[in-house]
Amino acid sequence: MEQRHLGRTGLRVSRIGLGTLTWGRDTDEHDAADMLKTFWEAGGTLVDTADVYADGEAEYLLGRLMDGLVPRRDLVISTKAGSVADPDRRVDGSRGHLLAALDASLARLGTDHVDLWQIHVYDPGTPLEETLQALDLAVSSGRARYVGVANFCGWQLAKAATWQLAAPGRTRLAGTQLEYSLLQRGAEREVLPAALDLGIGLLPSSPLGRGVLTGKYRHTTPADSRGASEHLAPFVEPYLDDAASHIVDAVTTAADGLAVTPLQVALAWVRDRPGVAAPVVGARNAQQLTAALSVEALSLPDEICRALDDVSAPVHRYPDHDWSTL
């Protein structure tokens, strides 16, 4: 699988990443092992997790699988901290919480470092410079090789990245993770322009529109799908409206014309967008993952890309409109 640099750094990642959101909860050890081995054998390196995925079970499971199944040195392990399961405080970007969370992640993963450590969410209750100092300490102590953020809006990302570039000794942001697909192009409003300008690589989450872009929900909700799951149905439901249906129809038409699947079209589109380093795919089993990895050989024709751009174009008006063209 092709490797790409993450932003303006030396870190190289496979251009498709493997997500572990459901590991330890909906995905058992057998299926997780099959997926990790399939991913590794296809040349995949980037494995994305977080300390709150299944209350830490996703990291614990990944750590067990690295102990014998797949060599640790062959993987780029990315984890996150800052989200809190406690309903009284959903985010905690304090230096103390973040560094303690990193230590706990390393223990569950069974490794002395992660390759990429990301702040999971912006915490308005903690000074940003304190949150960012945790990133510097993680790198200087050897517990993280590179750092980034996730779910930051445009001004938050720009402020954080600029702060890190403002003085010697601070660690530049390598990546930012955000939902991005043909059904959710909000990242293009401010996050992607900021990332491109500041040399930060984008790691799109939910690149298949929470599974909707595969076309599986066009006529019904499969019994074994996330849309039929009690705790994941609310996650899928926002993308089952008429506007999304129109986009899915366009993706399906393009797939039919190219003799490929809607999944391949949707994933190839987001993978090759400017600024994207690696979409992170969350599969239910090795069969689904293999279908996603088959996109490696596909590059969409320019006319298909333009047609998909047009049918899914978000409405960005003032102040985003380019007034120089008027």
Q: Is 206 exposed, middle or buried (0-12, 13-18, 19+ CB in 10 A)?
A: buried
Q: Which two tokens stand for residue 188?
A: 């293009």
Which 3-state string (H, E, C) describes the chain? CCEEECCCCCCEEECCEEECCCECCCECHHHHHHHHHHHHHCCCCEEECCCCHHHHHHHHHHHHHHCCCCCHHHCEEEEEECECCCCCCCECCCHHHHHHHHHHHHHHHCCCCEEEEEECCCCCCCCHHHHHHHHHHHHHCCCEEEEEEECCCHHHHHHHHHHHHCCCCCCCEEEEEEECECCECHHHCCHHHHHHHHCCEEEEECCCCCCHHHCCCCCCCCCCCHHHCCCCHHHHHHHCCHHHHHHHHHHHHHHHHHCCCHHHHHHHHHHCCCCECCCEECCCCHHHHHHHHHHHHCCCCHHHHHHHHHHHCCCCCCCCCCHHHC
Q: What contacts 124, CB < 8 A, 6 or more positions away?
A: none
The catalytic residue positions are 53
Cα(135)–Cα(140) distance, integer angstroms: 9
**How many residues belong to the chain?**
326
Instruction: For helices 242-258 and 302-312, give the axis angle rounded to 10 degrees.
Output: 170
